[in-house]
Structure 1
Amino acid sequence: MSNDQRVHTHIVGVEDEPVRELDVVVVGAGFGGVYALHRLRKLGFTVQVFEAGSDIGGTWFHNRYPGARCDIESLDYSYSFDDELQQDWHWTERYASQPELLRYIHHVAERFDLRRDIRCDARVVSATFDDDTSRWLVRTEDGEAVSARFCVLATGVLSVAQVPAIDGLEDFEGDWYHTGDWPHEGVDVTGKRVAVIGTGSSGTQLIPIVAEQAEHLTVFQRTPNFCMPAQNHAMIEEVERQWKAEYPERRAFARLSGFGHNQLSNPKKAMEVSAEERLAEFELRWQLGGLYMMRAFSDILSDPAANEECAEFVRGKIREIVQDPEVAEKLTPRGFHFGTKRLCSGTGYYETYNWDNVTLVDVRTAPIERTTPTGLATADARYDVDVIVFATGFDAMTGSMLKIDITGAGGHSLREKWAHGPRSYLGVAPAGFPNLFIVAGPGSPSVFSNMVNSIEQHVEWITTLIEQVTLRGLSRAEATEEAEQQWIEHVNEVAEQTLYPRSPNSWFFGANTPGKPRVFMPYVGGVGTYRQKADDVAAKDYEGFVLS
């Protein structure tokens, strides 16, 4: 709501350096940052978005590996804030691919003239709150400094790629890549020997395509995951037309649903129906594809018996598809509950292991010990390869924020505050960090939801709070320690009602990151429940916040 964002001033700790004053700084230009910019600008605020990458798009800018696509239907995984936008845009597939999703967010940025307030190749390295002025000083890696009343972190929950510390990688004479930082020009593996390390969401999408191109593919698997068939296909014209006609109802339903989308959920409990009905429901979900199996029965994620029935159905599908019984057994997930690790969705994943040019290596029984100049060495064999692909995931949910040196009131750092796990009120506002807000972070539905739905909800809630603080002539909005603690207790109580705490070896707990505290990070109470709780906080004059 400032008239001019080109005002210059001097900030404590910045000697003789002109600093631009703004209303809001947004860090990150993925779906969250782009919508935050649009929303804040419409409310009359001056905004600068800093993006570390060389272009906008976030997840869909960096994850360009072959086969990368969304696991939520395109018609759901899209912005709802502008009806003309959702009516005009045509999706070409049931599940949008990475290139199409990137084209979509580029279209949105251009349609609403957003690029003029986005600076790419601008990695934020620090954000420091000034108690005297109630402003944030935000610095980029190349030395730019801006002062803003509010700072919004839209840095993404899966954006800090992790390459495992394998001895000898620097001596490898071939090429190596991470799926989360794929070269924009692509990688040609035609006729090459390729190793893929990791069989999570990225690996299961990538592996079938690499197998088609490579002379030989060796997959190094530590933990087999449940992978559903995507059942992807070209967009059906009648389906798209019907969705667009029903968008008001469908969007409203998604906002109040458990997972933030329109996937069909069965309200019945698994063990209350006959074995025949259970089998039929599981088969229906398998044919529907994608993540529909998670909604086969209402107690899949809470009742161990129901969960095991579902898991055994999928194990049976693996045994049916994979011809070699020994390979099928290696690919069969055991030791954790179905859905408590990120459920994968792919095309032809299990079928790939029937090909003569594909080898599966179980690194639980023979761990990778080192990289050699010509490949990889496990405890019992050597594998010569030309290319290594790390599909080894991310420092999830907190990694992107903790890479920034964030200092709040009284000189306290976010890294210190989160040393034993992330803490914030509603997953939005960490106590002790006034005017700092997080989009789709830990403590909110985030990765347990349709991310675009949750992003819109967070952005609208945060920007309304910023507007209210401004209209009242106030300068600060800060969550209280008490409200934060009560929210964390609620997040944990809800999680304890599910099977997630019984399967803690997942990135939901930070288990894939060495040294990271084992804390369950997402909110599993449901998108609709979370939205109601957040709206109640706002309706009670932002209960749990001190506005001053």
Structure 2
Amino acid sequence: MTLSSDGQTAAAADIDVIVIGAGFGGLTATYRMRERGLDVLSFERGLDVGGTWYWNRYPGARTDSEGSFYRLNLFDDIVEPFSFKEKFPAQPEVLAYLGRVADELDLRKHYRFGVSVDAVVYDESTGRWQVRTDDGQDYTAKYVVSAVGIQSEPLVPDLPGQENFGGRIYHTAKWPADPVDLDGCRIAVIGTGSSGIQIIPQAADVASKLYVLQRTPTYSVPMVNKELTEEEQRELIESLPEIRKAVRDHPFSMPYSFSGRSALDVTDEERDAIYGEGWAKGGFRFMIESFDDIGTTKEANDTVSEWLRAKIHSIVEDPITAAKLTPNYPYTVKRPPSGVEFFESFNKDHVELIALRESPLVSFSEKGLVLEDRELEVDVVILATGFDFVTGSLYKLNVQGRDGLPLSERWADGLSNYLSVTLHGFPNFFVLGGPLYPGGNWPTVAEEVSTYIANVIAEGEKRSAQVIETKAEVEEAWVAHVNELASQSLMAQYGKDANAYGLGANIEGKLQSVFFYLGGAQVLFDQFDHEAASGYPGFEMS
């Protein structure tokens, strides 16, 4: 591989590994491949590193995992650990962290920024991948690692009349880098998912009028964020070895302990007290530390769902608005978000909730938004409409495997891969954050998966293999295991009612399937270790 004088990779180079993406996964994969002695060329459509944290700059954007474990172990091992200043770091701090990772590990030299990948095609005659970018350049590589992210393809509603709107339109996942002035504006926010829950309180603080357009109500618990003192930051850094072990061995890659109790084995008074304690702690602690069966047993889940519904009604003063904000599906069917003063925002006189199932959105107009029964005159429309989860960004790569089979056709009738990272018929192609991945704390998952991919490739190189490919029967057996777990989940049973993106139900016409591996992140990581110890029996290395 050759580099030009400005550090960008020469277009004609024939590369060992091409990595796509510069978030947690892409940076880690780029480092691990270089660590294995391979020439690496990486692409990123943004102008710098950061992945989702580069694009999601909207007011209120922050992690819903604590900064004590929303981090990369490999970085902490190499340089002085990064100290987050808040319990739940905000977007600028996470972006700064990833920038420091790139700087300290000297990763930017491998990247071509501002470049998107348009096609990834396997050439059977050469056994190499042909990669075309949007600037018209062609590359060849022995291996391709997709790290485009699980939530990186924004879902933009197809509403007519956008070109006629005289105001401003923003999507939370495409927020401008320059400051956006919303003070005194009439604002409409479409969506009450994770990003909506974060931006709505921010908009309510500055808007002269705020309309919140909601398709599906969402459960939300408090984030209970705070600034960390220097002493607290120092104590967290000293605790990183213990936190790391707890995260590695946890189903959600979080250092929280399960309670060891059932919601059905205590009195109503005891149960209410435990939920109250969980609410006060906030974040994922509410779900994980309250009771062990609220995410798996409908009868136990009913207790937490009813408790949360009552909580919404106790916070929101107007009973009609509270009823519209109250979900009728089980808690945990959707990934549970957390926020700051979300429900409280609807107690402000200038904030109005509009249920789109009662008053559907028809189009844009010159003055704002047209509903079936009225027109909303606004200056700014904010699309907090989420993402085409997992497959959206992967399909945009236009990946074609053996016999020219498109990845989109491979998954048209059902999701399938081995250990979430490889597919039969797509030799030397690896996916970091693909379907059936464990839905745990993303930096941990990204690091474990990218390390595993690097180890598989290193083993193939050691054997002088030209092709590394998952065995069809091994993939089938793994998918049968994954689907058996998914079929028993509350998400499979109730996800459609909730328009859950984890089921593909948030997009009309998308494959309806549980997109997660529900066996636990630590089980997948243990399988990685078992594969390595057994000589990678799930692969043909020829």
Class of the TM-score when normalised by the shorter of the 2 chains: over 0.9
Q: Aligned AA for 1:212? A: D
The answer as to whether partners of 2:468 and 2:540 remain within 8 angstroms in 1 is: yes
Q: Distance in 1 between matches of 2:285 and 2:489?
A: 18
The answer as to whether partners of 2:75 and 2:81 remain within 8 angstroms in 1 is: no
The answer as to whether partners of 2:463 and 2:541 remain within 8 angstroms in 1 is: no
The answer as to whether partners of 2:391 and 2:435 remain within 8 angstroms in 1 is: yes
Q: Aligned AA for 1:151? A: V
The answer as to whether partners of 1:5 and 1:22 remain within 8 angstroms in 2 is: no
Q: Distance in 2 between matches of 1:353 and 1:82?
A: 42
Root-mean-square deviation over aligned CA pairs: 1.6
- The answer on 1:95 being equivalent to 2:79 is no
For 2:48, the equivalent position in structure 1 comes to 55
Q: How far is the alpha carbon of 1:520 from its aligned partner?
A: 1.0
After TM superposition, the structure 1 = structure 2 runs for residues 252-271 of structure 1, keeping only pairs within 5 Å, are 252-271=245-264
Q: How far is the alpha carbon of 1:498 from its aligned partner?
A: 2.4
- The answer on 1:457 being equivalent to 2:448 is yes
For 2:244, the equivalent position in structure 1 comes to 251
For 2:373, the equivalent position in structure 1 comes to 380
For 1:298, the equivalent position in structure 2 comes to 292
Q: How far is the alpha carbon of 1:18 from its aligned partner?
A: 7.6
Gaps of 5+ in 1: 8-16
Q: Distance in 1 between matches of 2:235 and 2:434?
A: 33
Q: How far is the alpha carbon of 1:87 from its aligned partner?
A: 4.4
For 1:315, the equivalent position in structure 2 comes to 309
The answer as to whether partners of 1:508 and 1:520 remain within 8 angstroms in 2 is: yes
Q: How far is the alpha carbon of 1:264 from its aligned partner?
A: 3.4
Q: How far is the alpha carbon of 1:6 from its aligned partner?
A: 7.0
For 2:205, the equivalent position in structure 1 comes to 212
- The answer on 1:484 being equivalent to 2:478 is no
Q: Distance in 2 between matches of 1:94 and 1:264?
A: 18
- The answer on 1:533 being equivalent to 2:524 is no
Q: Distance in 2 between matches of 1:99 and 1:440?
A: 23
Q: How far is the alpha carbon of 1:157 from its aligned partner?
A: 0.6
TM-score normalised over the length of structure 2: 0.96
Q: Distance in 2 between matches of 1:85 and 1:535?
A: 23
TM-score normalised over the length of structure 1: 0.94
For 1:424, the equivalent position in structure 2 comes to 417
Q: How far is the alpha carbon of 1:422 from its aligned partner?
A: 3.0
Q: Aligned AA for 2:456? A: L
After TM superposition, the structure 1 = structure 2 runs for residues 90-169 of structure 1, keeping only pairs within 5 Å, are 90-169=83-162
The answer as to whether partners of 1:5 and 1:46 remain within 8 angstroms in 2 is: no
For 1:361, the equivalent position in structure 2 comes to 354
Q: Distance in 2 between matches of 1:474 and 1:290?
A: 46
Q: How many residues are paired up? A: 533
1:389-440 superposed Cα distances (whole Å, 9 cap, x missing partner) = 1100100011111011111122222121122243211110011000000112
Q: Aligned AA for 2:325? A: L
Q: How far is the alpha carbon of 1:544 from its aligned partner?
A: 2.2
- The answer on 1:545 being equivalent to 2:539 is yes
- The answer on 1:510 being equivalent to 2:504 is yes
> SS of the residue aligned with 1:96?
coil
Q: Distance in 1 between matches of 2:128 and 2:14?
A: 9
> SS of the residue aligned with 1:88?
coil
Q: Distance in 2 between matches of 1:272 and 1:86?
A: 47
1:243-276 superposed Cα distances (whole Å, 9 cap, x missing partner) = 3223222211211111001123212111112222
Q: How far is the alpha carbon of 1:360 from its aligned partner?
A: 0.6
The answer as to whether partners of 1:6 and 1:21 remain within 8 angstroms in 2 is: no
Q: How far is the alpha carbon of 1:342 from its aligned partner?
A: 2.1
Specify which of 319, 326, 330 is matched with residue 324 of structure 2.
330
Q: Distance in 2 between matches of 1:264 and 1:45?
A: 39
The answer as to whether partners of 1:131 and 1:409 remain within 8 angstroms in 2 is: yes
Q: Distance in 1 between matches of 2:511 and 2:81?
A: 45
The answer as to whether partners of 1:166 and 1:369 remain within 8 angstroms in 2 is: yes
Structure 1 residues 168 and 421, CA gap change in structure 2 (3 angstroms) = farther
Q: Aligned AA for 2:202? A: I
Q: How far is the alpha carbon of 1:133 from its aligned partner?
A: 2.1
1:15-48 superposed Cα distances (whole Å, 9 cap, x missing partner) = xx98311110001111111111111112211100
The answer as to whether partners of 1:86 and 1:244 remain within 8 angstroms in 2 is: no
Q: Aligned AA for 2:526? A: Q
- The answer on 1:437 being equivalent to 2:437 is no
The answer as to whether partners of 2:421 and 2:430 remain within 8 angstroms in 1 is: yes
For 2:7, the equivalent position in structure 1 comes to none
Q: How far is the alpha carbon of 1:182 from its aligned partner?
A: 0.5
> SS of the residue aligned with 1:364?
coil
Specify which of 64, 67, 74 is matched with residue 71 of structure 1.
64
Moved more, 380-389 or 199-208: 380-389
The answer as to whether partners of 1:6 and 1:20 remain within 8 angstroms in 2 is: no
For 1:14, the equivalent position in structure 2 comes to none
The answer as to whether partners of 2:76 and 2:82 remain within 8 angstroms in 1 is: no
Gaps of 5+ in 2: 5-9
After TM superposition, the structure 1 = structure 2 runs for residues 380-399 of structure 1, keeping only pairs within 5 Å, are 380-399=373-392
Q: How far is the alpha carbon of 1:218 from its aligned partner?
A: 0.4
1:344-375 superposed Cα distances (whole Å, 9 cap, x missing partner) = 11101011001011011111111111211111
> SS of the residue aligned with 1:311?
helix
Structure 1 residues 353 and 138, CA gap change in structure 2 (3 angstroms) = same
Specify which of 269, 290, 297 is matched with residue 276 of structure 1.
269
The answer as to whether partners of 1:63 and 1:180 remain within 8 angstroms in 2 is: yes
The answer as to whether partners of 2:224 and 2:281 remain within 8 angstroms in 1 is: yes
Q: How far is the alpha carbon of 1:196 from its aligned partner?
A: 0.3
> SS of the residue aligned with 2:364?
strand
Q: Distance in 1 between matches of 2:534 and 2:81?
A: 38
Q: How far is the alpha carbon of 1:145 from its aligned partner?
A: 1.7
Q: Aligned AA for 1:113? A: D
Moved more, 417-426 or 69-78: 417-426
Q: Distance in 1 between matches of 2:517 and 2:490?
A: 13
Q: Distance in 2 between matches of 1:88 and 1:257?
A: 22
1:315-335 superposed Cα distances (whole Å, 9 cap, x missing partner) = 12111111111111111111x
